[in-house]
Amino acid sequence: MIRSPSRALALLALVLLAAFAAALLIGPQGWPSESILRLRLSRAELAVIVGAGLACTGTVLQALSGNPLADPFVIGASSGAAVGVVVARWCGVELTSRWLPLFTVVGAYAAIVLVLRIARAGGRTPVQTLLLAGVTVSTLGTAIVLLYYNFQTGTGDAGRTMLFLMGNLSESKPELIGLAAGCVALGIVAAGLSARALDAFASGEATARHLGVDVERCKLGFCLLSAALVGVVVAVAGMIGFVGLIVPHAARAMVGHSHRRLIAASALAGATFLLLADLAARTVAVPRELSVGAITALCGGPFFLLLLRRRVRERDALSHELDPRAKASVVPPTETSR
């Protein structure tokens, strides 16, 4: 359908512009007044920053772990950052403070390193262990957030907690948005500059080392980069799941596997996806506003299951092709093995 990857990139950029315009102009009240327009503008900016940041992180994590199911939400980075928010509140830091990202970045980094370290086996990061470790760390993080707010009852924080856990773009934080935009832009550029190393990592860590990648330094760098992006995103918008999972796959289908283009395509498509998801969240059930995280999860959940199913089937087929023992196991057990 689309012949050249550069044309696909141009198309993605056009679609992003169209989505941005739609996010400004479409809403429950006919033609928007200037104040509403300004409100929508800041919200659309936030969606672009958060969507691009999450999708770029997803692409980096999927290459780093050699695992197409990695995503900042799935592997627990987002909830690590959420614990960072709790710690920040506990230390008396306001939710709009410039110091908040410091806590979220540290939380996200701790979660990423913990999960990748637990899940690694023999130089690879297998699907099962990555998901199990990720789910566990993620649940643990969410539990800490919930517990913290349980002790805060009566202060009207319960509703805000839910908003935070499901992700939310309606709270504008003008103090943080510039910082977040800078971080995300820098992160995307850094990931794009190390595209070749990401290409190498995507064929497995041992292979990357043998091809000449300084594996340990790159891993540290990519983990820091992911943590920085997830950290600032969670600080401004809470936990929005599955953007980092779906978008890289769609981008791969459009521009191929080369990370130089994949990073750019993911950033563009991620921004577009979140703009549209937020547009849906605002307009589908007027006068109610839905949680944007619920929308992305509704799109991402089934997609994730589909990928997982395909992955498991592929693995089955391959292990039967390669491993003679797998073939032998099809044969009914003999007397002796019982």
Partner 1 sequence: MSAPLLVFDHATIGRAGCELLRDVTFSVATGELVAILGLNGIGKSTLLAAALGDEAPLGGSVTLCGRPPASLRARERARLVAMLPEAEPLPYDVPVRDVIELGRFAHLGLLGRFGPADLQALTRAIEWTQVGPLLARGINELSAGERQRVLLARAFAQEPKLVLLDEPTAHLDPGRQLQVMATLRERVDEGTLGVLAVLHDPNLAGRFADRIVLLGAGGVLAMGPPNEVLRPELLARAYDVAFRCIADPEGGTPYVFADAGRR
- Interacting residues toward partner 1 by CB under 8 A: 66-68, 193, 195-197, 199-200, 202-204, 206-207, 209-215, 256-258, 260, 318, 321-322
CA distance 186 to 217: 19
Closest of 74, 116, 332 to residue 222, by C-alpha: 116
Q: What is the largest CA-CA distance in the chain?
A: 82
Q: How far is the CB of 7 from partner 1 (least distance, A)?
A: 18
Residue 139 or 203: the one with the smaller Cβ distance to partner 1 is 203
Q: How far is the CB of 63 from partner 1 (least distance, A)?
A: 9
3-state helix, strand and coil shares in percent for the chain, rounded to the nearest 5: 75, 0, 25
Q: How far is the CB of 319 from partner 1 (least distance, A)?
A: 10
Residue 133 or 181: the one with the smaller Cβ distance to partner 1 is 133
Q: How far is the CB of 150 from partner 1 (least distance, A)?
A: 41
Contact in structure between 66 and 255 (CB atoms under 8 Å):
no
CA distance 87 to 220: 24
Residue 44 or 70: the one with the smaller Cβ distance to partner 1 is 70
Q: What are residue 15's phi and psi, to 5 degrees?
A: -60, -40
Residue 200 or 264: the one with the smaller Cβ distance to partner 1 is 200
Contact in structure between 79 and 268 (CB atoms under 8 Å):
no
Q: How far is the CB of 116 from partner 1 (least distance, A)?
A: 15
Residue 204 or 221: the one with the smaller Cβ distance to partner 1 is 204
Q: How far is the CB of 77 from partner 1 (least distance, A)?
A: 20
CA distance 77 to 66: 17
Residue 40 or 249: the one with the smaller Cβ distance to partner 1 is 249
Q: How far is the CB of 126 from partner 1 (least distance, A)?
A: 10
Chain centroid to Cα 84, Å, comes to 17
Angle subtended at Cα 162 by Cα 139 and Cα 166, rounded to the nearest 5 degrees = 65
CA distance 66 to 207: 11
CA distance 219 to 227: 12
Residue 27 or 248: the one with the smaller Cβ distance to partner 1 is 248
Q: How far is the CB of 327 from partner 1 (least distance, A)?
A: 13
Residue 182 or 256: the one with the smaller Cβ distance to partner 1 is 256
Give kind and range of the element (H or E) at residue 59. helix 34-64
